[in-house]
Amino acid sequence: MTSPLFAPWRMEYIKSLGKDKGCFLCQAAATTDPAKLRELLVLWQTDLSIVLINRFPYANGHLLIAPRAHKADLEELSEAEQLDLSVQSVAGVKLLKRAVSAQGFNIGINLGRVAGAGLPGHLHQHLVPRWGGDINFMAVVAETRVVPEAIEQLYEELIRLVPEIRGESTNP
């Protein structure tokens, strides 16, 4: 007999489907309130980009990197925005190598709903850490994701390292 694998955070996602609460990336990019940034899991922002933890992750440490501007397609991005997304992706890789000992990464963008974009109006890149022997098959065979750490605990661990990774002396 098999035992159930509980994923209580998934219910929040399921209940949110079909509800228009606006663009969470635009909301995150527009806020400067530290409590709201924490609630939205924002790790840092630049003039052009925002980096946050995915609330519905494929793996522990799954980050989203997005332009601050609400743009749906790559060709809408300026060269400066394209470069900044790449620079912030490198910083995200450094952060996750240090914080969760990631051994590899899946990095990608789903352009359009038919390509799997859950938020097709605001382009964003997924940065998903991977480890040798991880349980990546679970999503394929059981439509289940195993995330071994609470998102709040992960946020605390990552936000503590952000200034060091970005070469800053204070939090974003």
pLDDT one-digit tens code per residue, 60-76: 899 999 999 999 999 99
* pLDDT of 18 over the 60 cut: no
How far from chain centre, in Å, is Cα 101?
17
What is the band of 32 on the pLDDT scale with cuts at 50, 70, 90? very high
Phi, psi (rounded to 5 degrees) for 44: -165, 165
Residue 70 CB partners (closer than 8 Å, separation 6+): 23, 25, 26, 121, 122
**Helical segments of 22-150, H only:** 24-30, 34-39, 79-100, 137-141
Give the pLDDT score at 46.
Answer: 97
* pLDDT of 6 over the 60 cut: no
The total number of residues written for the chain in this structure:
172
Give pLDDT tens digits for 69-104. 999 999 999 999 999 999 999 999 999 999 999 999
Mean pLDDT to the nearest integer, 108-114: 86
Give the pLDDT score at 22.
Answer: 85
Give the pLDDT score at 140.
Answer: 44
Quick one: which of 4, 172, 133, 136 has its CA closest to 57? 136
Residue 67 CB partners (closer than 8 Å, separation 6+): 48, 49, 50, 77, 81, 84, 85, 122, 123
| Dihedral of alpha carbons 46, 47, 51, 52, sign | positive
Give the pLDDT score at 134.
Answer: 74
Give the pLDDT score at 172.
Answer: 46
Contact call for residues 104 and 142 (beta carbons, < 8 A): no
Q: How far apart are CA 154 and CA 57, in angstroms?
A: 12
Mean pLDDT to the nearest integer, 16-26: 74
Give the pLDDT score at 129.
Answer: 94
Mean pLDDT to the nearest integer, 134-147: 53
**96 exposure class (CB count in 10 Å sphere: 0-12, 13-18, 19+):** buried
How far from chain centre, in Å, is Cα 75?
22
pTM of the model: 0.75
* pLDDT of 117 over the 90 cut: no
Mean pLDDT to the nearest integer, 29-56: 95
Give the pLDDT score at 12.
Answer: 57
Contact call for residues 128 and 107 (beta carbons, < 8 A): yes
Whole-angstrom Cα Rg for the chain:
16
